[in-house]
Structure 1
């Protein structure tokens, strides 16, 4: 009986001590300051990792000054040197942009820039008779102020990149006037699209109850599908001039190649649309001779009006031809090479890459200086900071998946008997964009969503 009493007495005491210990540990773990500094340190670790990767690649730009033997058939020494200097300039500039951005971001977090901007939005709202219960209005004002701030702080770097680096290497075609107009349009278009989406998203979260995440997922899916459908018809024309592709051999072959299509994400051509609203878009810089597409677009006498199935965007406010930089002459692609590029894009659609990417993409307040719990700030904190470790891993997995999709699309083009022209098209596009063909394996693995040129050429060379 005594043993029984001793056992009964000691048991609860031990349990109590364990519970107390766990409470202390949990309290220490959930301390807002600890959370903040854990996120802060991880943010800098990611920056240092990215900087290390960039350093590895920059060393190749700096030291590999002779074209390697295995690239002799891909690029000449003159183009290789131009590509080396261009990418070295961009990498050096990127280092300074990166360190400034990280310091700026750190100061915003340490000195409470996010809650300060939220309070400024609240003060602005109250000046018009709205109190803090109108969280959606305050959120829209907050995002507007955030966009204004980021636009102002990033503008000097954007100007330098455009009018110094890109100009030096023969890529800039913009006048200061066109650049200013383009930036203003981007600012207001981003607000016009972002504000209603943000307002509806916050409303759905507030009204969705325990299953709000299901409604949010459906809403974002609908928005994504809508943007895919309307982008090239209503948004892209605000920035580029689109003209129907003239009748001729290329148009006929494209119509034979693509009887149906959807949008993909390549920078030289893309498919978009659903059902009967389908389009193929070719960038004029893809074409070997695209001077007719830079004309006024007025229909000449006797010329038939082509169907709007293919369009080619051009800058509607480019410099006059004598003002264009002459440092780098682009080659463009012939008709067979263009068809090969489109076969690659068609492969993305046929293999379901667009839908797969769409599905993948769908799939803590006090620590950051907030007494209340505004929904928009919660989303920012969770997805930008708390989920940052998961985001890094997910981003790497998406990059690997994208590389696999590119190989599959190349293989699809090969099945359509376009392997040879696709190879020459890839080489020309690499030259036109001054892509440096020597890549550090770790930098390439972490950053390149498209496989390096030599890997794609090697894969296309393999037998069926």
Structure 2
């Protein structure tokens, strides 16, 4: 056991197996728990949710969980194939031997990353197609035609090339040219890139996929504007997005950063909620800004990214990092793309086991945003809005508690709505 390469291989294998078994355990718990409660609406929701809607949510949850298990098994097998079974090594050797090195060290590295992304995307296509055109279709959520899906695929690929290729090329160049502290300079560039995307996304990227029109309901516009002024929030505009052309799911969100912030409502949301309920949902989102959740998440992302780049900086110089994952490092050519690719494949195995902590933090922030919304609007409106969204999005009311603690970024309905009752005395008459 003095061979660090062998130790890392064993650690990687153990985490891969343990992670898959844990995911399967959680998924089977979720399926079993939801199925056991399928035929009875929880007492707290008996007067607002029909048995048919409850059963639809249960069936949808179970179907997604079963498909998720297949995806997890396939992803684990694919990861094993790319690493210990020699997939990345074979791909890298083919590119090195192709003569692309004559164009400089950067070109073959970019080709390696692009080829890996293309092959991985093609292998994932069957799951994407099945989920969109079979699972979502079966439960009445998919509104997308194959033509629109194909157009989205072409556009997203184009955006990935136009936006992603230059930043990846810059990162690889820094890894090879910026000395021993390349990881620090790369982190600075990466964070700047992320902030730039936050600014450009609302006006440059998002309109490539959806149409955004100004909110033209004057009464609702006045109501929402008054709420934002009362909360001290300024946005560059209120927009309605044509989400219904892809899905029946409803949502609302803030996008952008700094002066480019805008409020976006799905057209499906405005169809399902009355003005007071829209107000309450928006107040919840404003709560995230009031409690500085967005800034905190950005700071956390900065810190985690810095730690990640520092770790990558160390691992990229360790031969056992490559050989322990079934890859022979290049003896003459640069290994920066290999290091980056392997790091991105391995990190999720380690981060998976700390994800419950991140989920717990997210649920805590959701409770804080709910409390803020209730302080700014009528809690009964937020309750009724959430009930409609749970119903229309077929979100199960009876998730497995362990599954919730591990995965849920939002509290389940029973916890979330249960906390609202004592916070708003006026809601007693509505729930009595």
For normalisation by structure 2, the TM-score amounts to 0.84
Secondary structure at the counterpart of residue 365 of structure 1: helix
Q: Is 1:379 equivalent to 2:379 in the alignment?
A: no
Displacement after TM superposition at 1:262 (Å): 7.1
Match of 2:376 in 1: 416
Of the candidates 357, 364, 376, which is equivalent to residue 397 of structure 1? 357
The structure whose residues are more often helix, as a share, is 2
Q: Is 1:255 equivalent to 2:216 in the alignment?
A: no
Q: Is 1:85 equivalent to 2:59 in the alignment?
A: yes
Q: Is 1:365 equivalent to 2:325 in the alignment?
A: no
Change (3 A) 1:172 1:452: same
Q: How does 1:104-119 map to 2 (within 5 A)?
A: 104-119=78-93
Secondary structure at the counterpart of residue 263 of structure 2: strand
How many residues are paired up? Answer: 387
Displacement after TM superposition at 1:448 (Å): 0.3
1:403, 1:451 within 8 Å by CA — same for their partners in 2? yes
Quote the Cα distance in structure 2 between the aligned partners of 1:269 and 1:432.
Answer: 14
Gaps of 5+ in 1: 1-27, 289-331
Of the candidates 382, 385, 396, which is equivalent to residue 425 of structure 1? 385
Match of 1:69 in 2: 43
Q: Is 1:338 equivalent to 2:278 in the alignment?
A: yes
Secondary structure at the counterpart of residue 255 of structure 2: strand
Partner deviation per Cα, 1:167-193 (whole Å, 9 max, x = no partner): 111111111211222222222222322
Of the candidates 32, 53, 77, which is equivalent to residue 26 of structure 2? 53
Displacement after TM superposition at 1:208 (Å): 3.1
Change (3 A) 1:123 1:419: farther
1:262, 1:274 within 8 Å by CA — same for their partners in 2? no
Displacement after TM superposition at 1:371 (Å): 2.6
Partner deviation per Cα, 1:199-235 (whole Å, 9 max, x = no partner): 1122233333333333223222211211111112111
Q: Which has the higher contact order (CA 8 A, sep 6+)?
A: 2
Quote the Cα distance in structure 1 between the aligned partners of 2:188 and 2:234.
Answer: 24
Quote the Cα distance in structure 2 between the aligned partners of 1:166 and 1:110.
Answer: 35
For normalisation by structure 1, the TM-score amounts to 0.78
Segment drifting more, 451-460 vs 48-57: 451-460
2:283, 2:377 within 8 Å by CA — same for their partners in 1? no
Q: Is 1:152 equivalent to 2:122 in the alignment?
A: yes
Change (3 A) 1:390 1:168: closer
Quote the Cα distance in structure 1 between the aligned partners of 2:107 and 2:299.
Answer: 30
Gaps of 5+ in 2: 237-248, 304-320, 425-432
Quote the Cα distance in structure 1 between the aligned partners of 2:50 and 2:328.
Answer: 58
